[in-house]
Amino acid sequence: MRVVLYSLLLLLVFSCVDAQVIDLQQADQKYAVNYPSYREDRDGTLSFKEVVGSAKDFKIPSLPVPDFLGNLSKAIWYRFAALNNTPETEWYLEIKGGYMHRLTLYQIHPNGAIDSIALSADKDFAARPVRSNNLIFPLRIDPGEQTTFYLKATSKALIRPSMSFTTMHQLYEDSIPTSYGDGFFTALAVALLLYNLFVYFSLRERVYLYYIGYIFITILHTNLVAGHVLAIFPWLDFLNTNLLLPLLAFFSVLFTNSFLQTKRYAPIIYRIRWLMMLGYTVPVLFFIAGEYAMAILATSVLMFMLFIYWLLAGILAYRNGFQPAIYYIIGFGALIMLNMTFELKIVGWVQENYWIDSALYIGSALEAIILSFALASKINFYKKEKEEIQEQAYQQAVNFSRELINMQEAERKRIASELHDSVGQKLIVIKNKILRFSKGGTAGFQQKTEELAENVADAIQEIRSISYALRPYQIDLLGLTQSIKSLAAESFEAADIVHTLHIDPIDNIGPADKQINIYRIIQECINNIVKHAEAATASVSIENQHNQLHIRIADDGKGFDAQAATGGFGLKGIRERLHILNGAIKMGKAVPRGSVIDIDIPVK
């Protein structure tokens, strides 16, 4: 008697409450449940009886498929009806429940009978009456019968039940292209993952490792949303979009900064990379704490920020000269556009079909393909850049060799000229004097010995100066420290330049060739001051501290432009010698006037 009264009460309630009615007219079509009435259950504690008894609290949504994104409600109740105008009695309610947790469907027949069935979207796959990637509720609707349905939906992520009525025949036919399509795009992404894994083991570049991680998480997430993960790997029922999306974002940020070389081409993106990755721990912490609504809300906001981060990073890197960034922009742009297309289906702006439903798969596959091209383009970019650098280095080496040969020829010409004009002339004078003195007899010759000795001494000194210019013998006799002091003192005194010297003991600083290079570098700097600076004072400081030789040579002359002073052979020679010594040079202007040269050379 109580059951009869309860059934009559339900009939009375439903006669007074309007519900969206889905008109089932043909058995070979799928009928979407759009604009179902809904009611929010904040605590998830409302019973079926309480919900039915307060039908006035239901609202009509503004979207075809209501999307409850972080609405802070633990459950949502939906209400709709179906009128069967076909001879078919076996119907199925298909719910794409990749986002869902637990769905409980109540069917109220015209005679007051109530059927209910509860299915879980994230566990107990074997308990489903129809083992499909989507949740399939078997229904019995007699011809000409109109039944009302209540659906209680809970989720640990997004509450978005995309529902439709269909028959098993139509359900099977629709599943064929979906299965082939999802499998194809997944296989394509897996193939690209394996290819890039092979490239990583060949090149050992981290960018490929980040890309592999990103593609793997993308494949896992798209198949989780489509319901395939639980169907194939039931033990992965703990996975959730609030866990996978932050992990996906983490790998994408690493890949972005590594691939785009943001430290060089987009410094602002490089500086905020850790802040972005730290932000994606927030939804994970909410999820672990059981605050699922806050977790999905935080994930959605952060993913929107990630989209901006992707595009901004690509645009900045491309504008600053990194050409492969165009592939990056196209790849992530395609993913963003197809995600937006999927969302447009929810608001009813785009008609639902296989391509729209598979937008996430297609976007991920396209992104994987384009980013693989991007990685290949990056290799070509750096290969071309390396070839250009090698070509420049080769041309510099050729030019330096040419100038070196010219310099050697000029040096030989100078030595030949000095030997001919100076030493040769002195020897001719000595020869002529000897011949003349010999004609005067032995007495006359002995009287001129002092004069001949002076001429011979002058010739010897001239030869010594020439040989000293070729190799400073003082290094072997006196050591490097005293040789540099003598060089500076003689050069500055000859040019009437007041000078100060501060030179640490550096005699045992290295092998002979290293000492010669250091000596020649200082000699060239001093010669430049004497010849070009027009200086009144100069200073030479050499400090040997902490395995580092620091040389500072300064003057108060007219100075020079350090950037423009690159064409002289002397400076090129200095740089070549410093390259051999693994040293560095810095040239600048002194205060208030003049120039200063700082040279650092590592020593043991």
pLDDT tens for residues 269-317? 999 989 888 988 999 999 888 888 888 888 888 888 988 998 899 899 9
pLDDT band at 201 (very low <50, low <70, confident <90, very high): confident
pLDDT of residue 447: 58
Minimum mean pLDDT range among 314-318, 326-330, 467-471, 558-562: 467-471
Cβ burial of 300 (10 Å; 0-12, 13-18, 19+) is middle
**Residue where the block lists tokens 């990073």:** 313
Average pLDDT over residues 224-248: 84
pTM: 0.62
pLDDT tens for residues 307-341? 899 889 989 998 988 888 888 888 888 777 777 77
Minimum mean pLDDT range among 56-60, 415-419, 510-514, 577-581: 415-419
Percent of the chain beyond pLDDT 70?
Answer: 78
pLDDT of residue 7: 44
- Note the CATH number of domain 2-166: 2.60.40.2380
pLDDT of residue 417: 66
Residue 138 has pLDDT above 70, yes or no: yes
Would you list the domain boundaries of the chain? 2-166, 174-389, 475-604
Let me know: does 58 contact 150? Beta carbons within 8 Å: no
- Secondary structure class of 194 (helix, strand, coil): helix
pLDDT band at 355 (very low <50, low <70, confident <90, very high): low
Cβ burial of 404 (10 Å; 0-12, 13-18, 19+) is middle
Beta strands at 75-84 and 21-24: parallel, antiparallel or unpaired: parallel
CA–chain centroid gap for 472, Å, is: 53
pLDDT band at 378 (very low <50, low <70, confident <90, very high): low
Arithmetic mean of pLDDT over the chain: 80
Residue 224 has pLDDT above 50, yes or no: yes
Q: Which H or E run contains 560?
A: none
pLDDT of residue 8: 38
Better pLDDT: 96 or 12: 96
Minimum mean pLDDT range among 31-40, 73-82, 161-170, 352-361: 352-361
d(CA 472, CA 474): 5
At 553, give phi and psi (nearest 5°).
Answer: -125, 120
CATH topology of 2-166 equal to that of 475-604?
Answer: no
d(CA 134, CA 231): 9
Let me know: does 80 contact 87? Beta carbons within 8 Å: no
pLDDT band at 519 (very low <50, low <70, confident <90, very high): confident
Minimum mean pLDDT range among 148-162, 356-370, 533-547: 356-370
Residue 4 has pLDDT above 50, yes or no: no
Query: Which has the closest alpha carbon to 287: 304, 299, 302, 275?
Result: 299
pLDDT of residue 441: 58
- Secondary structure class of 544 (helix, strand, coil): strand
Task: Give bridge partners of residue 135 from the DSSP assignment.
Answer: 95
pLDDT of residue 6: 41
Name the CATH architecture for the domain at 475-604.
2-Layer Sandwich (3.30)
Q: How many residues does the chain have?
A: 604
| Max avg pLDDT among 13-17, 304-308, 475-479 | 304-308
Better pLDDT: 229 or 464: 229
Minimum mean pLDDT range among 60-64, 234-238, 264-268, 398-402: 398-402
d(CA 407, CA 523): 16
pLDDT tens for residues 75-118? 899 999 999 999 999 999 998 866 778 899 999 988 888 999 99
Crossing angle between the packed helical segments 206-225 and 168-203, to the nearest 10 degrees: 170
Minimum mean pLDDT range among 30-39, 391-400, 430-439, 546-555: 430-439
pLDDT of residue 566: 53
**DSSP 3-state helix, strand, coil percentages of the chain (rounded to 5)?**
60, 15, 25
pLDDT of residue 444: 55
pLDDT of residue 24: 92
Q: Which amino acid does the sequence have at 196?
A: N
